[in-house]
Each structure stands twice: as C-alpha cells, then as structure tokens.
Amino acid sequence: MTDATASAGRPTRITRGSPADHPSIRRPLIRRPDVLIFLAILALVTIGATVLAQTGHVSTSTVKLLGKTLCLCLAALAMDLVWGYTGILSLGHFAFFGIGGYAIGMWLMWDRTELIVLDTLARNPLPATPLEVQEAIGSQIFGVVGSTEIPWLWAFAGSLPLQLAAAVLVPGIVALIFGWLAFRSRVAGVYLSILTQAGTLALSLWLFQNDSGLRGNNGLSGLQNLPGLDHVPQSTISLWFLWASALALAGAYLLAAWTVAGRFGSVLRGIRDDEARVRFLGYEVEHYKLAIFTGTAMACGIAGALYYPQAGIVNPAEIAPIASIYLAVWVAIGGRGLLYGAVIGAAFVSLLSSWFTGGGAPDIDLGFYEIRWTDWWLVLLGLTFVLVTLFAPKGLGGLVDLWTERRSRRTSDLGPDEGALRAEEERP
Amino acid sequence: MSALLEVSGVSKSFDGFKAIDNLSFTVGEPELRAIIGPNGAGKTTFMDLVTGKTRPDSGSIRYGELSRDLTRMSEAQIARAGIGRKFQKPTVFEDQTVFENLAMALASPRSPWTVLTRRPSMETRAGEVAERVGLTAHMRRRAGVLSHGQKQWLEIGMLLAQEPRLLLVDEPAAGMTSAERERTTEMLVEAAKDHAVVVIEHDMEFVRRLNCRVTVLHEGRSLAEGSLDFVCADPRVIDVYLGRPEAGAEAEAEHA
C-alpha cells in the first residue's frame, strides 16, 4: 500500500543522489569534484607561493617548508592507500621515504664533491689521475667517519639517472621482498605492524653505524646545493622543488583516485573489511596486498627524493620508527580511507608541528608553571590522536564529508529500508 | 548427471576432536542437495574443506572433469575453478554499494593488473543479477543499510554472479520471514536447474520445500542419504536428530 508506492517511486529518486559517491557511474577522473577541488587548491597554493616569493613577501625557508609539506602529503597519500583503503597498517613506510632521500642524496653529494675536487686538483701542476680523483672524493665524503675508501653502495653515485632509478626501485624491491615473505605467510594485523616497525628499526640502526657506507649518524648533508648550479640562488631552486613536489603530488593524487575507483578499489576495501570473503570470490588477496604495498613504497621513495634536497640533510634519525608512526598519525587525524583526508592530515599536522616546535606558538605562563610548546606539542598531538580516534574516526576529512552529505541527504536515499519483501507481499 | 564433486574418505580433526570422520560424498551437475544434521555434525567444516579454508588430514576431494585435487589449491583458485560459497551469516561488504558488491563477484579476470587497467562496464550484467535476486531498486544503496533478508539475497546474488558450477549455500533461510524464505527457495531451485547446489540447513520445513535428495550428517559421518521422507524414516536419524528437534535447534541457534 503506502510502502509499495514508496518503493515504486524510489528508483528514480536514488539515481538522483550525488554521483560522486558512486564510482560505478562512469565519470572521467578529472571531472570528479574531489579531484577538481584538490587540484585547484594545490595550483592556487603553488602559484600563490611562487608569486609571493618572487615579490619578496615570502622567505625562501617558507617556500621550502611548503615544498617539504607537499612531499609529506604525498607520503601520507601512499600511507592512506596501504592502510586506509587496504587495511595494512604498515609502520615502515617512512623508511622507504628515507631510502629515496638517501638515493638522491648520494648523487647530490658525490657529484658536487667531484666538481669541487676536480676544481682543486686542476690547480696542481700535474693533471690528476682518476685514482687521485677517487681518493680525494673518498676522503672528502667519508673523512667524517674516518675512512677514505668508497663503499660499494656508492658504485653508481656519479650517475643521476641510476640514482633516480634507485630512489624508486630500491624501496620497491625491499617492499616486494618484505611483502612477499609477510603476506605469503599470511602475517596480518598487529603482527605485520610490529614486523614493519622492526624492519624500520633495523634499517635505522644499520645506518647509524659508521661502517654502513652511508656516513653513519652524520647522514648526507649539503643536499640543498645542486651540483653545477652554484650560480643559481636558493630562492630559485626552492621554487623549482616546490613545483616539482606539487606536480608529483598532483600526479599521485590522480593515480591514487584512479586506483581506488572501480573494481580494484572495491577489492582493496574488501580486503580491509573481510579478507577471507575476498578470497572466496576468487581474488588472490596476497597479490593485491603485495601490489599496493610495493606501489606505495615506490611513491614514498619519490616523495623522499623530492623532500631531502629541500631539507638539505638526511640522516638515520629521519628513518627512526617514530617517523613511520607519525605518518600513521597524520592519516588517522586527516581521515582514513579518504584521499583528501590524508593530504589534509599531513599538511595540517606537519605545518602545525613546525609552528609549535619552531617557537611560533607563544608559551603560556600559568604562574606556577610555564607551558612551553616545544615540549608540550607532542602531548597535544597525542591527545588529538586519541580524541580523533574515539570521536571522529573519519578524521578531519570526515568533516568535509559531513558537509557534503548534509547537502545531499535531501536528494539521496539513506533512510531505513522497507524490508526485503514488503513490495512483493503486497502483490495479489 | 555426472559427478562434479567427489569427496572420498575425508577426515579432519581439531585438537583430537573428529569434526569429519571418513566422509564420502558425491554431488552431480545439475543437482540440488541438502545436508542436514545436528549442531557439531561437521556441516560447516565440510564446506571449509571443499572451499580450501581448511585442509583434510586424509582423503581426497576431486572436482570437475579433470578431477582436480582441491586439497592442493588455494581458496581463490578453488573459487575461480567454479565453486562458490555463501556463508551462514550474511557476509557482504557493508561499506560498499549493492552494485559494487555484485561487480566484485561477477565472473571476470581476477588478476590485480587486469582489474586495475581493464575496466569494462558491469552495469548490465550486475543489473541482470540484481533482477534475479530482487535488488534492482537498491543498486546504489550501501549494503550495510539493507535488511537482513536483503543481505542474504545480495549474497546469493554475488554467488550467482560468480557463475560457479557448484554452489555451497550455508543456511540461506536463517532469520528470514516466511515470504522471504519462499522467494529464497525459488532462487535455489531455479539455480539448481543448471548448477550443482548444496544447501546446508537444519530447518526441516525449508528442506521439505526444496524437494531434493538429503544427506544426514552426524559426528562427521554420513548417516543416511535419500529423499527427506526416506531419511526421516531411518531409525538412526530419528535417534540423533529428529527425536529431539527442539534441543538440536536451540543448540544450533546458540552456535549461530
């Protein structure tokens, strides 16, 4: 009766619901509202910062901070794919970020040192032999760890294309081997998280050693100076990296949006929610996990390769386990399973963090105690993390959803259903 | 009718408890078969064994014309070979729409690369399945907001969408209204016209309506096999199961 008529009228109403929520509706990626808005904001920020920097309103360090933030957003995007969408809580993705930084840092350091060494040796009366050049580079780079020998790891350090490839391939290969071993044995959940943390810790401890071949706790430094471009001011180079970071983030966002749309995205979310069920549908869950784990590790490698030339230094402390946990915290605060959530979380928290720890926030004097934000910021972050997890599981990005949902609630069908057979039962 | 699934001499024990004890079972194609039995008879373990979730301690499970050994295949491989499973509790992906659930189940290439790069429209095929299980009007709704009966149907729809040759259906009518049960019966009988369908059920009324061959399981063994009336007349069956239907049903409900 009334139920039956309501049900009959329903299909037309349902199809009017917000199409963005329905990946099945074939809509070009570039025309989806979330993608469009994201790209527009990113372009606005990048162009705005460029204009302000050119006119001298924004300092070079601010441009670098912005560029670095975009790289962190890219890493958070990767973390969201692997954790928010596929449910693999990897606490080691920042290690891949660091590996990317080391790979590009090796070339930057090597090539620049080589130029300096050649320049110095050119003043000698006799032309330098290749061996002398090698030794001079060796003592320049590895003098701090008491060595002049060039470790085997640096075999290709003189080649930019090879080191760029390494920035992507080394994280990829490490992730592939680690993932293959872990997923094949069906290690999942908290055990996998612990395993990734252990791996990250091992890598960072190894890097801390002086004989690791990567300058121990000194790390690689002077990365902000591009070889052969000493005449270009840092203010210009910082803008180059800002644009490169923005382009990488835009590309990654498009790629991620394409990946999570359609059936592939369905399978990923299915694995997150009920892995066994996906297996019984005939999907090799391990292959999907391995693909997403490896792909996101490579994305993190790219992000790191763009980040560290802006930071100027990469050292083992960057790869410490806590960094990977931060990555998870950003995604959780921004919103798991929402691409823009991850970006918002990473940008918001990392910018806020540098404001608090950089002395931007005024200390509060309570009379009996002074709250210094450089110390208390972590407490605040921890509290925020707990509160978001408890009360806003969809994070900051969820607020955006709340707003769009409220707008579409009037047109789409979300209400209590009429039961399976109400309409049919009415039939004569 | 030729044998599609041949289970012979299979045993499986958990910590000394014999869940399946030297069980032999054959189902042909097409055929509709019901498996009944009291709680702990090994019905669900039987399904787990066929679908690769658990491995038997001994015995063999062969499938299809090539007599493929299912005990050596992964869950996903078995599913791709044409064995579909519906769980006792409706297990649909609640966070995704009915369409997305069906699209994931539709028979199509399953490798990550193909799924990522080839994206054929599945609207038509998903629509056909939705039509069969009466969910056409709900394609765009999240599966989580469906009623219990609709979720059961969605899962049956996902099973049909897989285009399996052998359907293993675990308590399809649990928690349904009588009208919903009737509809479910129709769906299963319809599917059994060209598929092998094995239904696990302890609701006698429902089994009677299926009007098919029945296998009675008890303590991991096949106790009797034949028409429902035939097995109901068997004194051993009466003793272990029908003699105390109340106790059996209660225990089963607790288990679920």
What CATH number does residue B24 fall under? 3.40.50.300
Nearest to B122 by CA among B103, B148, B107, B136: B103
Lowest mean pLDDT among A32-36, A177-181, B128-132, B167-171: A32-36
Cβ contacts below 8 Å, chain A against chain B, sum to 126
Instruction: Report residue A271: phi and psi, to 5°.
Output: -65, -40
**Three-state SS at A14:** helix
Residue B118 lies in a domain: no
Asked if A259 is an interface residue toward chain B (Cβ–Cβ < 8 A), one would say yes
Residue B110 lies in a domain: no
Greater model confidence, A11 or A392 = A392
- Give the Cα separation of A407 and A401 in Å (integer): 10
Whole-number pLDDT of residue B128: 93
Lowest mean pLDDT among A18-27, A37-46, A356-365, B233-242: A18-27
Q: Above pLDDT 90, what percent of chain A?
A: 57
DSSP state of A20: G
Whole-number pLDDT of residue A384: 87
Asked if A407 is an interface residue toward chain B (Cβ–Cβ < 8 A), one would say no
Is a pLDDT exceeding 60 seen at residue A421? no
Q: For all residues of chain B together, what is the average pLDDT?
A: 87
pLDDT band at B50 (very low <50, low <70, confident <90, very high): very high
Collect all residues with Cβ–Cβ distance below 8 Å to A226 and sequence separation of at least 6.
Answer: A108, A112, A232, A237, A309
Closest-CA residue of B relative to A416 is: B145
**Three-state SS at A61:** helix
Task: Give how many domains chain B has, as a whole number.
Answer: 1
CA R_g for chain A: 25
Q: What is the pTM of this model?
A: 0.87
Q: For all residues of chain A together, what is the average pLDDT?
A: 86
Are the beta carbons of A413 and B51 separated by less than 8 Å? no
Give the CA count within 13 Å in the CB-facing half-sphere of A87.
18
Q: Is A253 exposed, middle or buried (0-12, 13-18, 19+ CB in 10 A)?
A: buried
Interface pTM (ipTM) of the complex? 0.87
Asked if A287 is an interface residue toward chain B (Cβ–Cβ < 8 A), one would say yes
Number of H helices, E strands in chain A: 17, 4
Are the beta carbons of B75 and A276 separated by less than 8 Å? yes
Of A26, A288, A420, the CB nearest to B150: A420
Question: Taking the CB of residue A162, how many other CB atoms lie within 10 A of it?
Answer: 16
Are the beta carbons of A420 and B112 separated by less than 8 Å? no
Residue B137 lies in a domain: no
Are the beta carbons of B76 and A276 separated by less than 8 Å? no
Tokens 């024990």 belong to which residue? B13
Closest-CA residue of B relative to A420 is: B150
Are the beta carbons of B147 and A23 separated by less than 8 Å? no
- Range B48-58 average pLDDT: 92
Contacts of A287 in chain B (CB under 8 A): 111-112
Q: Above pLDDT 90, what percent of chain B?
A: 44
Structure tokens at B211: 């009007």
Range of the domain at B88: 2-92+163-255
Nearest to A23 by CA among B117, B14, B195, B103: B103
Closest-CA residue of B relative to A26 is: B121
Whole-number pLDDT of residue A409: 52
Is a pLDDT exceeding 80 seen at residue B254? no
Residue B142 lies in a domain: no
Closest-CA residue of B relative to A278 is: B76
Cβ atoms of B187 and B159 closer than 8 Å:
no
DSSP bridge partners of B18: B13
**pLDDT tens digit sequence for A22-66:** 444 456 777 788 899 999 999 999 999 999 999 989 999 999 999
Asked if A291 is an interface residue toward chain B (Cβ–Cβ < 8 A), one would say yes
How far away is chain B from the Cα of A421, in angstroms, using its nearest Cα?
Answer: 6
How far away is chain A from the Cα of B30, in angstroms, using its nearest Cα?
Answer: 22
Cβ atoms of A397 and A346 closer than 8 Å:
no
Q: Which helix (H) or strand (E) holds B63?
A: strand B58-63
Greater model confidence, A414 or A143 = A143
Asked if B183 is an interface residue toward chain A (Cβ–Cβ < 8 A), one would say yes
Residue B8 lies in a domain: yes
| Single-letter amino acid code for the residue at A61 | S
Instruction: Report residue A312: phi and psi, to 5°.
Output: 90, -20
- Give the Cα separation of A347 and A251 in Å (integer): 17
Residue B33 lies in a domain: yes
**pLDDT tens digit sequence for B6-25:** 999 999 998 888 889 999 98
